[in-house]
Structure 1
């Protein structure tokens, strides 16, 4: 009789231990505290993300990826239109969970950093202009929060701009469109921005005004979550596994086709 009681206790203890392990390893499972809502910032960096999301027909392919993944897990995705630098601040304060189209992750974001697209940063000028000549004397636009110091291909540009007193920093709504307008009106000589973003907004103009003069190689772009978010590790895993599922089902291909983008898995990205 005592042997039976002991055996039953061992079985119960083993079951409890197994339940604990499963709950610890399974994000958003029935055994852990369910994630019911995620707050992420959006701004104007199409085709990655739009500040008009989720109401826009084209909210950005990264936004659509997140919408599909979270909807399948009954997680409400709340999107807040916030400029890049302000979003970083809110994330560090734990007031938002994540961001789209991050191209240079740092320790404020939850690792691992797994690519969800590609990016390329360029110095743009008008069609005939040699923007690289005497760059420190030119008027160059940059988005607030941008840092090109660690991009080898743009090292010369970074060094010359460090000596310049004519760098115009923009933040707020749609800085790329504003830079395009300023270049058209010759209020700036050039600007630094992501090539695929400039290409997206340029296609709606009557003519092209901005031409890449010098670019980095293809770099990864990410959907990332702040370490200050209590669910950051689980959310990162949900997105990572969700992208795999979307790719396997063909849904990812359909989303990317809508935005005329190739699957980044087929691209040689320089991490």
Structure 2
């Protein structure tokens, strides 16, 4: 009886997978199992107060906003800037819903955290359409109707004068209050407006009123340094952010980047940098 012969079947060939391919697959599996860490966000709020801060997302957000972006974005943070009324901005930062408020002083908000480095200097000056009128002290306001923005920080003597003689003052409210106040000055409805020289001169240029609105004088006693105010709701984080701001401002100033940024707004550095200045320590 003939034996049955089985057909010959060759053994399957081994597929050799390159080592680099195995490593790539392993890394892909690990990456998919470990989510990427979200970028830390810094929320900045203020009412519009150019040239410090203006319309979010515009080509001219304000030099204070541009400072924040330059400092924090190079450290890996994302900066979200929101324009909100001043009262709400203070509440949002105080409660921790936002991190940074632009253009305040430790005297105004003593519970806030502040960096050591200022963001500018604000002097109280008065402007008018009358080239002959001069501000030489509080008594100068007796002969004019003066506009002011409700909620903005004015010296105590000015607020007391408003309280005692409300008929000589006109309060404006809202996000565009300063621009409307300048328009009232141009229309002759008020005769004087107070404000930081940098702020008023910026709005005068934008309103095409240069040569028509005059600087009538400044109150030297009321000049003050302005700062970024950080939230007291999370002090360790705010102190860390304040340290980053100090270090970042030092770098911007001493590399010339700050002056380059300020030129865009027709400004120059408010602090003269001495030669050989040491930088602030890291927090």
TM-score (normalizing by structure 1): 0.74
Comparing 92-101 with 232-241, greater Cα deviation is found at 92-101
8 Å contact 1:94–1:228 — kept in the other structure?
yes
8 Å contact 2:117–2:249 — kept in the other structure?
no
Residue of structure 2 aligned with 1:147, choices 153, 175, 198: 153
Give the Cα–Cα distance (whole angstroms) in 1 for the partners of residues 255 and 134 of structure 2: 45
* Secondary structure of the structure 1 residue equivalent to 2:268: coil
Aligned pair 1:110/2:116, yes or no? no
Give the Cα–Cα distance (whole angstroms) in 1 for the partners of residues 208 and 39 of structure 2: 46
RMSD: 2.7
8 Å contact 1:140–1:188 — kept in the other structure?
yes
Which protein has the larger Cα radius of gyration, Structure 1 or Structure 2?
2
Shift of 1:204: 2.5
For structure 1, which runs of at least 5 residues remain unmatched after alignment?
1-32
Give the Cα–Cα distance (whole angstroms) in 1 for the partners of residues 230 and 132 of structure 2: 40
Q: Indicate the residue corresponding to 1:203 in structure 2.
A: 205
Aligned pair 1:219/2:220, yes or no? no
Q: Indicate the residue corresponding to 1:92 in structure 2.
A: 94
Output one character per residue of 1:167-196: Cα deviation in whole Å (capped at 9) or x when no partner: 332232222211110111122222222111
Aligned pair 1:255/2:261, yes or no? yes
8 Å contact 1:98–1:223 — kept in the other structure?
yes
Q: Indicate the residue corresponding to 1:61 in structure 2.
A: 63
Count residues in correspondence: 229
8 Å contact 1:180–1:210 — kept in the other structure?
no
TM-score (normalizing by structure 2): 0.71
Q: Aligned pair in 2 of structure 1 residues 112, 95: CA closer, same or farther (>3 Å)?
A: same
Give the Cα–Cα distance (whole angstroms) in 2 for the partners of residues 66 and 134 of structure 1: 39
* Secondary structure of the structure 2 residue equivalent to 1:203: helix
For structure 2, which runs of at least 5 residues remain unmatched after alignment?
1-36, 274-283
Give the Cα–Cα distance (whole angstroms) in 1 for the partners of residues 184 and 234 of structure 2: 38
Q: Indicate the residue corresponding to 2:13 in structure 1.
A: none
Give the Cα–Cα distance (whole angstroms) in 1 for the partners of residues 64 and 49 of structure 2: 10
Residue of structure 1 aligned with 2:185, choices 183, 192, 215: 183
Comparing 95-104 with 176-185, greater Cα deviation is found at 95-104
8 Å contact 2:262–2:268 — kept in the other structure?
yes
